[in-house]
Structure 1
Amino acid sequence: MTQLDWTKHLTGGRKHTFTTNEVILRPGMDREHFFVILQGRARIHLQHDQKELTLAYLKTEDIYVSHSRAWVSAESDLLIERWPLAQFKRLLSLEPMIALQVIQELGHLLHNTINVIEDLSFRSVSQRLSRALLLSSKHQQSESIDLPYNMQELAQQLGTSRQTLSTEFNQLIKQGLIKRLSRKKIKLLQPERLSNICEGFVS
C-alpha cells in the first residue's frame, strides 16, 4: 500500500503537467479544488509589483487545498492531480488520517509564514542572510554549506531583491565572515560573528 492509495476513493480527478516557473494557482483563479503533487516540487509565494516572497514548498505526495490568496508555481517540471473540493470532504470521511497530513502541512506553512513576518518586521537583510546561513550550517552539520537556492530564489526566501542580497553577500565576504568556494557552496569563516549579526549586536 502506497501513501497515495487514498486516491482510489476519489472521482473526477484530472492530471495536469506544468513546466518550471509555470503558475498553478494565482489570485482570482477558481479556488474550489485541491490537488496532490505526483511528481516534482512547487512553491507557495506572494507576489506584487514584480516582487515575490516565498512562504513554503510542496514536494511529492503533499496535498494542497486552494484556500488562500497565495500564488503556487512549479519549482520544477511538475505533475499534479486535482479534484473538486467536494471530493476532499468525502475523502476525510473515508480516510480520516488524511486530515492529520493536511493539518501538518498547514502547520508547516503557518510556521514558515510567521518566520517570514518576524524577519520582515524585526530583522534587516543582513540579519536575515546571516540567520539563513547559520540555519543551513546547522542542518548540514558543516561550516562548508551547499546553498539549496540560487541568488534569486534566496532573495525571494528572504524578502529582498537580488541586487540587495548580492550586496550583503559581498559585504560578508569582504569582512572575512564567509568565503565563496563555488557558485553554490559557501564556507562560514566566523560563525560566531554571523550569530552576533543575526542577534543585532553588530551592524
Structure 2
Amino acid sequence: MKAGIEECLRQSPMFSELSPPQLGRLVAIAQLQIWQRQQIIFRKGDAAAGFFVVKTGRVKVFNLSAAGKEQILNIFEPGDSFAEVVAFDNQPYPASAEAIEYVELIFLPRFAFLNLLHQDADLSVRLLASFAKHLRHLVSLIEDLSFRQVPQRLAAYLLQRLATSDRPDSITLDLKKTELAALLGTIPATLSRAFYDLNTQGILRVEGNEITICDRQRLQRLSEE
C-alpha cells in the first residue's frame, strides 16, 4: 500500500521533485482513503483535518447557494491536490467535496504535515506554488462568470478539453449535464440551449456524449468574445 502512495506522490506536480528522504517522510504520514461514487468527502464548514492528493478517479469541489444551486469550483484528477488551505489555518473547509466516481485519495493530516513544513522549507515553497495555482483558477472562474455568457464559457471549456484529447476534433463528455452546467455556472436547460445553438450554427455536432468540433476557428473566436 505504501508503495502505491509513494508512486502517486512522486507523480504529483506538488511533490514530484522531492528527494527520496523527503518523499519518504511524506509517505510515512500519508493515509489511503477510498470513496464511492457520489460520496461526500467533506462538507463546507466541517472541521478540517488535512488535505488530499487524488490517486485515482475524480473529485469535484463545490458550493451550494441558499436555494440549493450548485457551483462547481474545480474538478480534480489523478495527481491533483486539493484543500491545502487547511495546512496553514485552523478554519473549517471553505467548500464541499464529492467523489464523481470511485476515488482513491491520499490524505495528509494537517498537524503531521505542519511538523514536516517546520523541518523542510522546500515543502512550504511547493505548498505556496499549489496555492497560487488554485488562486489563478478561481480568478479565471470569477472572470468567466462575470464577463462571459454561457456559449462563450462552453466554447472555452470544449477547447480546453480538446487540448488534452487524443483525437484531433472529438471529445467525450465524461460529466453529467447537471455537473457540466454547475461547472459553467448555469443550469442544464441553458446549457442544452447553448449546445443546440452551436450545433445549429455548424460549429459542432452532438451525438450523445460525443462532441465533434466542425469549425474550430469559429469556436476559438467565440471563446475569446
TM-score bucket of the superposed structures, by smaller chain: 0.7 to 0.9
Where in structure 2 are the equivalents of 1:5-24 lying within 5 Å? 5-10=24-29, 15-24=32-41
Within 1, Cα distance between the matches of 2:42 and 2:77? Answer: 16
In the superposition, the TM-score normalised over structure 1's length comes to 0.80
C-alpha deviation, 1:62, in angstroms = 4.1
Consecutive unaligned residues of structure 1, counting only runs of 5 or more, are: none
Match of 1:102 among 116, 127, 131: 127
Structure 2 residue identity aligned to 1:5: G
- The count of corresponding residues between Structure 1 and Structure 2 is 197
* Equivalent of 1:114 in 139, 160, 184: 139
Deviation of residue 154 (structure 1)?
A: 1.7
Q: Contact conserved, 1:150 with 1:184, CA < 8 A, in 2?
A: no
Q: Which whole-Å deviations, capped at 9, do the CAs of 1:128-163 have from their partners, x for residues lacking one?
A: 112222333334372223334332222122111111
With normalisation by structure 2, the TM-score equals 0.73
Give the equivalent residue in structure 2 for 1:124.
149
Query: Is 1:170 the counterpart of 2:196 in the alignment?
Result: yes
- CA gap of 1:163–1:36, structure 2 versus 1, over 3 A, is same
55, 60, 74: which one pairs with 2:99?
Answer: 74
Look up the match of 1:149. Answer: 175
Offset at 1:45? 1.7
Where do residues 11-90 of structure 1 align in structure 2 (5 Å cutoff)? 15-48=32-65, 49-63=67-81, 64-65=83-84, 67=86, 68-82=93-107, 84-90=109-115
SS at match of 1:27: coil
Aligned-residue RMSD, C-alpha = 2.7
Deviates most, 133-142 or 169-178 = 133-142
Percent of aligned pairs with the same residue?
A: 27
Q: Give structure 2 stretches of 5+ with no counterpart.
A: 1-5, 11-22, 87-92
Report the more deviating stretch, 113-122 or 36-45.
36-45
Aligned letter for 2:97?
Answer: V
| Separation in structure 2 between the aligned mates of residue 155 and residue 135 of structure 1, nearest angstrom | 16
User: How many angstroms does 1:123 deviate by?
Assistant: 0.3
